[in-house]
Structure 1
Amino acid sequence: MYKILMIDDDIEVLEVNKKFFEEKECKVEVCSEPQKALSLVESFKPHCIFLDVMMPEVDGFSLCRQIRNITEVPVLFLSGKVSEDDKVEGFEAGGDDYIEKPYSLRELYARMTSHVRKSMASAKKEKSSVIIDLNPFYIDKEKHKLYYEGEEIPISNKEYDLVLFLAKNVGKEITFEEIGTQLWGSYIETDRRNVMVNVSRLRKKIEGQTGIDNFIETVWSKGYKLMKLRK
């Protein structure tokens, strides 16, 4: 279900558009007061925004620039201002499309779905580069955090480095030496104890919050192996 935010000071236009898109099984929020639009963008989190240009107090171009400080979802301008300069200004303000009034609602829907699909595909690709998915666990490499079913598991920096290294080699047996070298840059046999202590602490934190005690398995006399669990 697509979530659409429509911003226009013309209430009749909002009502007609809202009805059409709801019939297409979209979830729609409308806003006829531009000064309230930013709070709606933050709370509603739309997949796409329809934005009029000529509105009181703040015009659509200025509002779009403010919206771009909050979200990168597609913004489609719907306007009777159709000069080349108007269109250029719309795109420079951060708009993704500029549709002249009057317009076909069928075409508007088609344009919206096209923009949203591209936006979602781009977001998924970007997310995949910073997320290691170990369902029901995942690691956010950008935030340096470990999560279980969306809830953060508080761990130290060294424990994060440890679980990240294991996650990059999920399912593989990793030796004490490989772990020690990764965490401290070098390894001697007496470092095995340090590796074991860090793994033990990490396990306790994971089990204490999730109840799962087999996320990191011991490979007897050799090292450890991180298991990708299936719910």
Structure 2
Amino acid sequence: MQKLLLVDDDTEVLAVNKKYFEQDGFLIRTAASAEDAYRVLGEFKPDCILLDVMMPGTDGFQACDKIKKLSGGAPVIFLTGRVSEDDKVEGLMLGADDYIEKPYSLKELKARVTVQLRKKTAKAPEQSNILSIPPLKIDIVAHKAFYNDTEIPLSNREYELLYMLAGKKNNVVTFEEIGSAFFGVYSEADRRTVMVTASRMRKKLEDYTGLDNIVETVYSKGYILRSK
């Protein structure tokens, strides 16, 4: 049975979402504030977390990092009425795995939860834990990247992007492919988030390797990882 934690100060929203997912066989716990969520996570380990942003006290943006750590890294989906592009980018950069604008359909919400659960339970390839893409190495079990045995400290989303590019090395990975992998459903509004993630990842690769051409931008299409 899949487990969800719902965090929202709106009790009506909590009740509606709880009923909907329980009817689909999910085990649900709810919290009306970030502080309540911290307490729940002391004895309940969810497979996915739906987190409201605009809550009194500690808001969702402020709570995201601690909630992810207390949950053992469960995917977090923000549910919010803050709909500007900057808000969305900020939320994703803070560690959220998806961002849904209120009001939303329960059908879409379930689809996005399903995407995150599918990612969480996907098995790594059996052949080898290490993917070599000179000059880099990727540990596909630990989700880490290395240069000359030195770890490059990538965020979860930066690692996901690097892994996608490595899987199609020397071939273009489009904005649409990356956005679909990140969010389940891609829209042009997601392109900026993809570009910010790519920019931060490339900066770290350059800082650690001294090379500025490992990942190249293909104008208006996406990115390509160059490897021998």
TM-score where L is the length of structure 1: 0.52
Partner of 1:60: 60
CA contact (8 A) 2:3 2:46 kept: yes
1:99-178 correspondence runs (5 A): 99-121=100-122, 124-125=123-124
- Which ranges in structure 1 are unaligned for 5 or more consecutive residues? 131-141, 143-231
Determine the C-alpha separation between the residues in 1 that align with 2:85 and 2:36. 29
The one-character-per-residue Cα deviations of 1:34-86 (angstroms, maximum 9, x if unpaired) are: 21212312311000000000001101011101123232111000000000111
Q: 1:113: how far off? A: 0.8
SS at match of 2:18: helix
Determine the C-alpha separation between the residues in 2 that align with 1:13 and 1:75. 17
1:172-187 correspondence runs (5 A): none
Q: 1:120: how far off? A: 1.4
Cα distance change of structure 1 residues 55 and 127 upon mapping to structure 2, 3 Å threshold: farther
Asked if 1:20 corresponds to 2:10, the answer is: no
Structure 1: 4+ residue segments shifted above 4 A: 126-130
1:89-104 correspondence runs (5 A): 89-104=90-105
Which amino acid is 1:96 matched to?
Answer: D
Cα distance change of structure 1 residues 99 and 39 upon mapping to structure 2, 3 Å threshold: same
The structure with the larger Rg is: 1
- Which ranges in structure 2 are unaligned for 5 or more consecutive residues? 130-141, 143-228
1:7-46 correspondence runs (5 A): 7-46=7-46
Q: 1:128: how far off? A: 11
CA contact (8 A) 2:49 2:74 kept: yes
Partner of 1:72: 73
Aligned length: 129
Percent identity between matched residues is: 52
